[in-house]
Structure 1
């Protein structure tokens, strides 16, 4: 008998592995087509949405500041009656206009117009025949006057330069004279466009533009399009113009994807746009590359598996087949054969035992090092107490809990008196010992539940959870006395100053910390070795 049958079996196994690799390649390719492409497209849309939100938040803040400014100006009792007041009162209002313009670089003009046709503005000479009462910004509030009427983002052309501006207008009224005119703040469109383009995206073709609720373009990187209606410029292929929606459209024969959001303050719509080809092109290229790579790897894997299968399994079977043929067909002595699969099995068992032992030891060592790293990440290496990063994290969590439940919490900020002098005279080693001893002393005299850590240098901070200010002040007095009476390992007496504060309703965390720091400063200014609590 020949050896052709085992060889046929080996070829059959080879073809089976190749067929398996091809099926695996097709399966992975199908996965890429049906899952990878939509997922990557969704990721790109999510990125577009986030960038749009950045622009939206910026524009909201931009006009919120302008609305706040014009509301303050409209509330000035002299502004509605400028045509009937003294010259010094007019000059005061003009000076106020200048101050607001200096404080906000986004303000282009501030001015007021009145029913008698007069105009109040700095450094501007109206053109001949200029009539305040027919200007678009004046008519926006005075054609149908209402108490407290405010119009945000009115697009109009400046009378002298014919440039496009966005105006925010507030009606002026006086208890005796009624509605007397309007005060307005202008913003320069090109300036707004430049600022929002800087916040659009890393996509090269991405940009943002703004239109009002009627679809009129207010801000666009191409100034010649401002004032035109969006419906006249684009052809929709998917979706419709609504807030929080993706749309696809064609503009100048380029297919684009855009995300839309709205600004409640103005009623505007913000579009963040990118060429669809810039999103889909790299995704398709990557998908083709990965599919080809998977096919090559699968075929290579099959070839390697076939070779390994033949060497470790089929070859010993062929040798065994030959050995059996010799035993059946000859009476001659048969040489003894050693089959590699028995030896491999034994080696595998030994390797498994060795690997299991080594892996266990490595995992235990890794767990110990991870635990050490986790400890070092949140603890100060010198004092062993929480570091600044951990204290900041706990402060933020407690602040958020306070905002939700209004349970009181207080802070004690500690500073070692004359610590620099101690370092200069006794050396930094003595200073380190003092920091360690003080940290241990304070930690041992506060509750376990309270957070204590090194705030920086010789400063420490205690977070007293669910503790009102008077209780915190009492604890601070106790700590002050303990330190003053404690015998440190350095040849001199030490004292501390403490600033105490309780979180107040409506107060931000930064303001609270500044207040506690100010209290610490007052304690030191008052002679040190004491606390200050207001």
Structure 2
């Protein structure tokens, strides 16, 4: 027993070590996914803000003062924005800065404690001068000066990137702001081909605070860096840690899964994850202190081993005691139980023992042997019947879980799985697949004017028609509301468009059973590209095409 205990403990230590590494690898992956999600959520919020600004912003610089109150309201609500500004093609510039972001700002501009906002204005007709105006919290002007100017907004990275982005919102790499001693990012967009650019500044320090709340800084150091190995920001106790790592490790792919390495005589568990940013190659690297991370696992294992040792000692004492009293009767009971196993119910003998429990058990064996055979047969029949019923129920549940109740088509759960499978094949083998998003035109009017029952009938008939007219290899499902989605594997954009046109025609000329008018559909088509890393990108492209179809008058097919 002691030998078995030693072998078991050694095996437990080995297994626990491997399991701990797997757990830590999984935890670091989850952490990187969470960090990636934080970055994307932050970027999405900032992109949304810049899109709103591009819509409401005054394009004519003569009306730029109308933006002042809007800029201050946005800066008040979005605490992580340091400034909002607009740069014009002729060198004009209009910027509103939140003075609370940096104490040095107030000192540099001789602002008082009551001053809240700083407005910088540059007129392209008088480019050598700039106006610097201070405002209090209630937007009352407190001071105004005119200074010499050397700032040219058209030479700044945010302006140049926005102008070359084909009217899309952009995010700059980190760079040093001109008016404060801090690094940050800028989100910008050109104002509808006007060569004027509206932007928001986002401090790196605020970006770091998002991560600090999700990171155990005692055990883990984190760096965000670009593909050229330059650091964007770090949450660390050792600023040289990343440089020391790159001195001996060149390949980033080796650390997609957690690896244990030695850096300057100290062990770390290291993992690198690439962020899903389509414009900039950014990576997160985690350095987990090996001793601190692994310690809880070993502590738990040693507690288990100590418990096992104590239990084994107690068991040895109990075995020695009880072997003298019950071993022989128990052995006889074992022999009788073998007869039950062999179904020799008529040969079972009573075991006499001074131990009351053994005698009771022996009598129970005798009574049990009389009925166990019939019971066993009955039980086997019931188990077989229950198994069949359970399998049928499981099949029904699975079908229900992937089926839309109203139309009988696949639901969003099944469609997401099919999209992921096609995306995986595309990423691995460069297979092209396409998606078709279908929306019933003016469906709300059908419900409002004819009632929801007629609306449901229309949905069911549209589902039946679409299902009859797609190919066997295609997958059709209800995407939501009056929208349907067709996934076309190994299908180029042109073929998907032909299918979409066919579906548009058959719906248009179908006579519905309970709805007297014609029904039309708007269709958006998109195919995966080599740059697409997620099926969400293809769905977004198809949505864009669908939106264009609606905008162009509905009852048509548009291709992204």
TM-score range, shorter chain: 0.5 to 0.7
Is contact 1:499–1:518 with CA below 8 Å preserved after alignment? no
Structure 2 partner of 1:283: 301
Which secondary structure state, in structure 1, belongs to the residue aligned with residue 408 of structure 2?
coil
Q: 1:26 to 1:500 in 2, by over 3 A?
A: same
Post-superposition Cα deviations, 1:121-164, rounded to whole Å, max 9, x if no partner, equal: 4256xxxxxxxxxxxxxxxxxxxxxxxxxxxxxxxxxxxxxxxx
Post-superposition Cα deviations, 1:83-140, rounded to whole Å, max 9, x if no partner, equal: xxx859942248836879x987995834xxxxxxxxxx4256xxxxxxxxxxxxxxxx
Q: Does 1:468 align with 2:466?
A: no
Q: For residues 501 and 494 of structure 1, what CA distance do their matches in structure 2 show?
A: 23
Q: 1:494 to 1:297 in 2, by over 3 A?
A: farther
Structure 2 partner of 1:13: none
Q: Does 1:246 align with 2:260?
A: yes
Which secondary structure state, in structure 1, belongs to the residue aligned with residue 487 of structure 2?
strand
Post-superposition Cα deviations, 1:267-299, rounded to whole Å, max 9, x if no partner, equal: 998631152543322222234345656887999
Q: For residues 243 and 556 of structure 2, what CA distance do their matches in structure 1 show?
A: 68
Structure 2 partner of 1:447: 471
Q: 1:362 to 1:31 in 2, by over 3 A?
A: farther
Aligned residue runs from structure 1 range 120-139, under 5 A: 121-123=178-180
Q: For residues 312 and 286 of structure 1, what CA distance do their matches in structure 2 show?
A: 32
Structure 2 partner of 1:96: 156
1:300 to partner: Cα distance: 8.9
Aligned residue runs from structure 1 range 57-456, under 5 A: 90-93=150-153, 96=156, 107=174, 109-110=176-177, 121-123=178-180, 198=213, 200=215, 205-208=218-221, 221-222=236-237, 245-246=259-260, 258-260=268-270, 271-273=287-289, 274-275=291-292, 277-289=295-307, 316-317=349-350, 343-456=367-480
Q: Does 1:528 align with 2:554?
A: yes
1:259 to partner: Cα distance: 1.6
Q: For residues 11 and 211 of structure 2, what CA distance do their matches in structure 1 show?
A: 34
Is contact 2:504–2:523 with CA below 8 Å preserved after alignment? no
1:248 to partner: Cα distance: 8.0
Q: For residues 295 and 261 of structure 1, what CA distance do their matches in structure 2 show?
A: 43
Q: For residues 267 and 385 of structure 1, what CA distance do their matches in structure 2 show?
A: 41
Q: Does 1:479 align with 2:511?
A: no
Q: For residues 210 and 477 of structure 1, what CA distance do their matches in structure 2 show?
A: 50
Q: For residues 228 and 526 of structure 1, what CA distance do their matches in structure 2 show?
A: 56
Post-superposition Cα deviations, 1:218-272, rounded to whole Å, max 9, x if no partner, equal: 96755xx6579999xxxxxxxx987865368999xxxx86324679999998631
1:379 to partner: Cα distance: 1.6
Post-superposition Cα deviations, 1:290-341, rounded to whole Å, max 9, x if no partner, equal: 5656887999999799676666868945569xxxxxxxxxxxxxxxxx9875
Q: 1:296 to 1:404 in 2, by over 3 A?
A: same
Larger Rg computed on CA atoms? 1
Q: For residues 518 and 543 of structure 2, what CA distance do their matches in structure 1 show?
A: 21
Q: 1:193 to 1:425 in 2, by over 3 A?
A: closer
1:354 to partner: Cα distance: 0.9
Which secondary structure state, in structure 2, belongs to the residue aligned with residue 413 of structure 1?
strand
1:55 to partner: Cα distance: 7.4
Q: Does 1:512 align with 2:488?
A: no
Is contact 1:209–1:221 with CA below 8 Å preserved after alignment? yes
Q: 1:341 to 1:98 in 2, by over 3 A?
A: closer
Structure 1: gaps of 5 or more residues: 1-22, 66-85, 111-120, 125-164, 169-186, 213-217, 232-239, 321-337
Which secondary structure state, in structure 2, belongs to the residue aligned with residue 444 of structure 1?
helix
Q: 1:354 to 1:246 in 2, by over 3 A?
A: same
Q: 1:228 to 1:284 in 2, by over 3 A?
A: closer
Is contact 1:54–1:199 with CA below 8 Å preserved after alignment? no
Q: For residues 467 and 407 of structure 1, what CA distance do their matches in structure 2 show?
A: 9
1:362 to partner: Cα distance: 0.9
Q: 1:288 to 1:248 in 2, by over 3 A?
A: farther
Post-superposition Cα deviations, 1:402-452, rounded to whole Å, max 9, x if no partner, equal: 344444433222112222222223332332222222211211122222100
Q: 1:298 to 1:427 in 2, by over 3 A?
A: farther
1:531 to partner: Cα distance: 2.6
What is the TM-score normalised by the length of structure 1?
A: 0.56
Structure 2: gaps of 5 or more residues: 44-126, 130-148, 162-168, 186-202, 226-232, 275-280, 337-347, 354-361
Q: Does 1:40 align with 2:58?
A: no
1:358 to partner: Cα distance: 0.7
What is the CA RMSD across the aligned residues, in angstroms? 5.4
Q: 1:293 to 1:421 in 2, by over 3 A?
A: farther
Which secondary structure state, in structure 1, belongs to the residue aligned with residue 152 of structure 2?
helix
Post-superposition Cα deviations, 1:341-384, rounded to whole Å, max 9, x if no partner, equal: 56533422112101100100111111011111111222212211
What is the TM-score normalised by the length of structure 2?
A: 0.54
Q: 1:378 to 1:472 in 2, by over 3 A?
A: same
Structure 2 partner of 1:496: 520
Count of matched residue positions in the alignment of Structure 1 and Structure 2: 386
Which secondary structure state, in structure 1, belongs to the residue aligned with residue 435 of structure 2?
strand
